[in-house]
A and B are shown apart, each in its own frame.
Chain A
Amino acid sequence: MQISEDALKQAYRQMKTIRMFEERLHDEIMTGEIAGFTHLYAGQEAVAVGVCEHLDYNDTIASTHRGHGHCIAKGCDVKGMMLEIYGRADGICKGKGGSMHIADIEKGMLGANGIVGGGPPIVVGAALAAKLYGDGRLAVAFSGDGACNQGTTFEAMNLAVVTNAPAIFAFENNHYSEHTGVSYAVGSEDIAGRAESFGMKAWRVDGCDFFKVYETMGEVVDHVRAGKGPAAVEFDTERFFGHFEGDPQNYRGEGEIARIRKERDCITIFREHATKKKLVSKKDLDAIDKEVSDLIEKSVEESRAAAPPTAEDVLTDVYIDYI
């Protein structure tokens, strides 16, 4: 599949932004300055970016509690996200949502979700709306291997098939639902197979290779936009950090994290492929690294200095008006 140099650079910029955003959060959380629960997406960047590179502004996505990557890939403002995670008044959700509830409807981002399996039913609704708009738009539900066991996901897949809704179920199998392995928690260990059994076409792809993700998603998106019904993709991917920040990760195999960081890092794989095939120069990639690093640094600095919301803000935004 053809992809322009500019598009590749943009994809790399997005992946790198997610990675640096998450690595920096990991460090900043240690300082105690950031409150609450944070779940980092690092390691899975090629999936969010490889999927969203095929989406237009009026396509929608719903995300998971591990949602920062999807938000960035769909175009949410990075500084606004950082402010939100710091709990600031100017955050993307005014400090009312936090890490697990970042959303930007203008960008087609229907929300990260604190409830595992919360997103797929919402995506079917967005897909039914897309069908009514009749302009080829579609909706994507990102789920992990944890959410693939939720009844809501089954209901959503069936309803999408029954109504021929333009929905894509993107399952990111990072091998862990919280602290439990796929071999224990997923009966068949075949998530794509489950989707197929609902009557939709499903793909399986290495989620650590952006080029493979991008190529596969081209087929998937064409299929769904052509009105051939919903589709599913199972991505084999890796979670570099714990379930949440603070997770001791004592359930991981010996040397596992070092191994996946060495062998399965989607950013390294991208750089090697892109430079070897002369698709993007090393110099250009390094320049993007610097640009992203500056953006993250600036976002953190501004977030630290930004004002928190006030006690009065607790009471607003529950209803459109109050009687």
Chain B
Amino acid sequence: MAELMLREAILQTLFSEMERDENVVVLGEDIVGGMGTDGGPEAIGGIWGTSTGLYDKFGGDRVIDTPISESAIIGAAGGLGLTGKRPVAEIMFADFLGVCMDQIWNQMAKFRYMFGGKTECPAVVRMIYGAGLNAAAQHSQAPHGILTSMPGLKVVMPSTPADAKGLLTTAIRDQDPVIFLEHKALYAEKGEVPEGDYTIPFGHARLAHAGEDVTIVAAGLMVKFATKAAKTLSEQGIGCDVIDLRTTSPLDEEAILDSVENTGRLVVVDESPPRCGLATDIVSLVTNKAYASLKAPPEMVTSPHTPVPFARELEKAYLPSPDKIADAVQRTLAWK
């Protein structure tokens, strides 16, 4: 085990998977950084530090620095995947999904189905997402709900450096298109990461905190907040299961239902707005399949139905927080 930041775990995984399999190719804008400048290739080394050194090691044919052309990036990943390669495309901010949606939604997600199951597209699209850095409405969103609703895509949201490694390795080796969402506010998060070959299967949630009274379901950065809330609550004698979904598609329904059947209370935490999202999806699942176990109405802690605001005070008010989660847990316990 080595202690790494989440961004370092991503970089190491890309390195080792590119070394292991020559078909792995990475592409994205400024992933090399400095192309066509006096500074030259690797002058920046990728703005997130998740691709630094890949170009020097593997060369420009496998580490493809692209213009700012998200449709072409994702389309090229689709074409690479269809013709025998394992592309890992980077979308610098998940918000840029808006300009490449067709290539994700209408193209790569549907190849296998439209073409009668005779085609696969093993492509990974890494998207850097999430609020908390005052990056405002077009650089802070969490679009996992939209992506999870699309048949044909798998959607991954790691919350720890170890999971980032294990899930990214699985994503690169998977035969389907995978959206891999990295929260920018988790990049500096440190944690022990297993060394050597390490994979985590999709569709298997992780129990981030154990308790008997309330089930909290979360993904990505929200797992950190939920765990913090759970720790505070445990000091007050309230026990919470915190279920880290790891992947929102496929969804580990069993882990959620088993926990709710035990606790009888559900709080879903979601960074995206409340309508037609992950939180409503999970509340619907539980009310349909574990209705008899519920002792209180499920609670949703989400962002409001607004764009992500800029100012510190506004963004703080926008995002779910450990305090808001703890309050929701208390509400489910107080319900009569």
Q: Which residues of A contact B (CB under 8 A)?
A: 60, 62, 91-97, 101, 103-106, 110-111, 113-115, 118, 120-133, 139, 151-152, 155-156, 158-159, 162-163, 316-320, 322-323
- Considering the chains assembled together, what is the distance between the CA atoms of A93 and B85 in angstroms? 22
Find out whether the CB atom of A93 lies under 8 angstroms from the CB atom of B115. yes
Q: Which 7 A-B pairs have the closest CB atoms?
A: A121-B75, A125-B79, A317-B117, A93-B116, A125-B76, A323-B203, A94-B116
Residue of A nearest to B76 (CB): A125
Residue numbers in A under 8 Å from B296 (CB-CB) = none
Q: A91-B116, A152-B71 are in contact. List 10 more A-B contacts (CB 8 A).
A: A96-B117, A97-B114, A110-B82, A124-B72, A125-B83, A155-B72, A158-B72, A319-B112, A319-B152, A322-B250
Find out whether the CB atom of A114 lies under 8 angstroms from the CB atom of B106. yes
Residue numbers in B under 8 Å from A113 (CB-CB) = 107
Q: Does B103 contact A (CB under 8 A)?
A: yes
Residue numbers in A under 8 Å from B175 (CB-CB) = 320
Residue of B nearest to A110 (CB): B82
Q: Which residues of B contact A (CB under 8 A)?
A: 25, 27, 61-62, 64, 66-67, 69, 71-85, 87, 102-103, 106-107, 111-120, 151-152, 154, 174-176, 201-203, 250
**Minimum distance in angstroms from B28 CB to a CB of chain A:** 12
Of the residues A110, A317, A322, contact of B79 by C-beta under 8 Å: A110
Residue of A nearest to B89 (CB): A125
Of the residues B72, B111, B152, B176, contact of A121 by C-beta under 8 Å: B72
- Considering the chains assembled together, what is the distance between the CA atoms of A123 and B85 in angstroms? 13
Listed by A's residue number, 22 A-B pairs whose Cβ atoms lie within 8 Å are A93-B118, A94-B116, A101-B114, A105-B115, A121-B76, A121-B79, A121-B103, A122-B82, A125-B75, A125-B77, A125-B87, A126-B80, A129-B25, A152-B102, A155-B67, A155-B69, A156-B71, A158-B69, A159-B67, A159-B73, A159-B76, A317-B112
Residue numbers in B under 8 Å from A317 (CB-CB) = 112-113, 116-117
Number of A-B residue pairs at CB separation under 8 A: 160
| Given known A128-B25, A158-B67, A318-B151, contact A121–B118 (CB-CB < 8 A) | no
**Minimum distance in angstroms from B31 CB to a CB of chain A:** 13
Find out whether the CB atom of B75 lies under 8 angstroms from the CB atom of A122. yes
Residue numbers in B under 8 Å from A130 (CB-CB) = 83
| Given known A92-B116, A115-B102, A320-B120, contact A152–B72 (CB-CB < 8 A) | yes
Find out whether the CB atom of A105 lies under 8 angstroms from the CB atom of B82. yes
Find out whether the CB atom of B107 lies under 8 angstroms from the CB atom of A162. no
| Given known A110-B82, A115-B106, contact A103–B115 (CB-CB < 8 A) | yes
- Considering the chains assembled together, what is the distance between the CA atoms of A70 and B250 in angstroms? 36
| Given known A121-B78, A123-B79, contact A103–B107 (CB-CB < 8 A) | no
| Given known A317-B116, A318-B151, contact A131–B106 (CB-CB < 8 A) | no
Find out whether the CB atom of A124 lies under 8 angstroms from the CB atom of B64. no
| Given known A121-B76, A129-B79, A132-B85, contact A318–B203 (CB-CB < 8 A) | no
- Considering the chains assembled together, what is the distance between the CA atoms of A1 and B151 in angstroms? 49
Residue of A nearest to B154 (CB): A319
Residue of A nearest to B247 (CB): A323
Residue numbers in A under 8 Å from B85 (CB-CB) = 128-129, 132
| Given known A105-B82, A129-B79, A319-B176, contact A156–B72 (CB-CB < 8 A) | yes
Of the residues A93, A106, A118, A124, contact of B107 by C-beta under 8 Å: A118
**Most interface-central of B62, B64, B250 (chain A CB within 10 A):** B64
Find out whether the CB atom of B75 lies under 8 angstroms from the CB atom of A124. yes
Residue of B nearest to A139 (CB): B79
Residue numbers in B under 8 Å from A129 (CB-CB) = 25, 79-80, 83-85
Residue numbers in B under 8 Å from A97 (CB-CB) = 114-116
| Given known A97-B114, A103-B119, A115-B106, contact A125–B81 (CB-CB < 8 A) | yes
- Considering the chains assembled together, what is the distance between the CA atoms of A121 and B250 in angstroms? 28
**Minimum distance in angstroms from A108 CB to a CB of chain B:** 9
Find out whether the CB atom of A111 lies under 8 angstroms from the CB atom of B115. yes
Residue numbers in B under 8 Å from A159 (CB-CB) = 66-67, 69, 72-73, 76
Residue numbers in B under 8 Å from A94 (CB-CB) = 116-117
- Considering the chains assembled together, what is the distance between the CA atoms of A316 and B85 in angstroms? 24
Residue numbers in A under 8 Å from B154 (CB-CB) = 319
Residue of A nearest to B60 (CB): A163
- Considering the chains assembled together, what is the distance between the CA atoms of A114 and B73 in angstroms? 20
**Minimum distance in angstroms from B318 CB to a CB of chain A:** 32
Residue of B nearest to A95 (CB): B116
Residue of A nearest to B249 (CB): A319
Residue numbers in A under 8 Å from B62 (CB-CB) = 132
- Considering the chains assembled together, what is the distance between the CA atoms of A322 and B85 in angstroms? 23
Find out whether the CB atom of A132 lies under 8 angstroms from the CB atom of B107. no
Residue of B nearest to A125 (CB): B79
Residue of B nearest to A167 (CB): B79
